[in-house]
């Protein structure tokens, strides 16, 4: 995540110039320099809205990263604990930007404790660490439910959903499942990695177990092959991934993403083809970072 992206800067520059030149053109045509005044006001208004978000991020990053936050991250994220100094700084910046710009709230907009927010943010910072120029795929933030599970009617304490990823709605996570995810790093189970992986899959409007084509550098064929092969194994109970991966290809991809960030060493040995595709997509060699 960045304070501002180069491409946005280019567009801001172009639009500012268009507003300015329009003012000059109208003033010359009407032979009335006063016309420049509304154009100037328009320019200021445009720049205010265009730079509001980057400025908010810039201001947030000026604050020192609290020691208490570092401690929570160290205790809960093996990834954070294993990256180098430059990586640590960038991870902390991503955590700060995410918590500044994306709402992470309880039900009825209830304020959450710092630890819960940090666990959510650390999941996102881990998944985006290899992609400093990507934004989180969750546009509407994160809603944290109390308890461990909920059902399809969003009834808390019933059913078996630990999280839910739907397009154009906030990512829903159950707080106790979130806690369990970080209590047992390395077991290949992490609700944040799982649900965010669904968002990467659904970005192109389809949940077929392949990340959005827009974000892929190569062709879809190796993905189709690798996902389908492991899914068939999961269906027969022969996959190294947990049985839930056999539900469909979309779940296979989400469970594989969990494993890639939690237990990459095992994944690299069991299915190097799938490991390499995920490594290329997230642009990070997780086995090199946390081993396993």
| Contact window for Zn ion (CB under 5 A) among 74-82, 91-99, 171-179, 245-253 | 245-253
216 Cβ partners below 8 Å, 6+ apart?
Answer: 210, 223, 281
Query: In angstroms, what is the C-alpha Rg of the chain?
Result: 22
Kindly state the smallest distance separating residue 12's Cβ from Zn ion, in Å.
38
Interatomic CA distance for residues 213 and 9, integer angstroms? 25
Nearer to Zn ion, 230 or 251 (CB): 251
| Contact window for Zn ion (CB under 5 A) among 46-54, 97-105, 124-132, 251-259 | 251-259
Kindly state the smallest distance separating residue 86's Cβ from Zn ion, in Å.
33
Kindly state the smallest distance separating residue 194's Cβ from Zn ion, in Å.
6
Kindly state the smallest distance separating residue 198's Cβ from Zn ion, in Å.
6
Q: 76 and 119 in contact (C-beta within 8 Å)?
A: yes
Tell me whether residue 290 is exposed, middle or buried, using C-beta atoms within 10 angstroms of its C-beta: 0 to 12, 13 to 18, 19 or more. Answer: buried
Distances in Å between the Cα of 188 and the Cα atoms of 146, 180, 183, 185, 193 are: 23, 12, 12, 7, 10
Print the SS3 string covering 138-192. CCCCEEEECCCCECCCCCECCCCECEECCCCCCEEEEHHHHHHHHHCCCCCCCHH
Kindly state the smallest distance separating residue 195's Cβ from Zn ion, in Å.
7
Nearer to Zn ion, 189 or 263 (CB): 189
Give the binding-site size for Zn ion (rule: CB under 5 A). Answer: 2
Of 119, 254, 257, 289, the one binding Zn ion by CB under 5 A:
254
Kindly state the smallest distance separating residue 74's Cβ from Zn ion, in Å.
29
Nearer to Zn ion, 97 or 254 (CB): 254
* Cβ-closest position to Zn ion: 254
Nearer to Zn ion, 92 or 251 (CB): 251
64 Cβ partners below 8 Å, 6+ apart?
Answer: none
Binding mask 190-229 for Zn ion (x = CB under 5 A): ----------------------------------------
Instruction: List residues binding Zn ion (CB under 5 A).
Output: 251, 254
């Amino acid at each position: 995540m960045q304070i501002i992206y180069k491409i946005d800067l280019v567009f801001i520059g172009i639009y500012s110039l268009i507003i300015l030149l329009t003012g000059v053109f109208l003033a010359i045509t009407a032979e009335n320099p006063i016309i420049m005044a509304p154009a100037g006001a328009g320019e200021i208004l445009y720049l205010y809205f265009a730079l509001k978000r980057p400025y908010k991020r810039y201001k947030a990053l000026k604050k020192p990263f609290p020691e208490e936050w570092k401690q929570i991250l160290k205790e809960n994220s093996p990834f954070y604990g294993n990256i180098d100094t430059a990586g640590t700084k960038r991870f902390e910046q991503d955590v700060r930007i995410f918590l500044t710009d994306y709402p992470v709230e309880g039900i009825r907009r209830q304020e959450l404790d710092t630890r819960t927010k940090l666990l959510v943010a650390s999941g996102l910072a881990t998944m985006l660490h290899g992609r400093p120029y990507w934004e989180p795929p969750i546009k509407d933030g994160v809603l944290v439910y109390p308890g461990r599970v909920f059902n399809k009617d969003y009834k808390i304490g019933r059913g078996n959903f630990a999280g839910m990823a739907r397009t154009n709605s906030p990512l829903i996570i159950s707080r106790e499942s979130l806690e369990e995810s970080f209590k047992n790093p390395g077991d290949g189970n992490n609700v944040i990695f799982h649900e965010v992986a669904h968002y990467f899959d659904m970005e192109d409007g389809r949940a077929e177990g392949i990340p959005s084509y827009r974000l892929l550098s190569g062709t879809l064929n190796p993905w189709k092959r690798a996902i389908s092969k492991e899914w068939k194994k999961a269906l027969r109970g022969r996959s190294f991934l947990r049985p839930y991966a056999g539900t469909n290809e979309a779940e296979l991809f989400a469970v594989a993403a969990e494993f890639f960030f939690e237990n990459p060493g095992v994944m690299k040995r069991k299915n190097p083809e799938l490991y390499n595709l995920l490594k290329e997509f997230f642009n990070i060699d997780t086995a090199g970072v946390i081993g396993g």
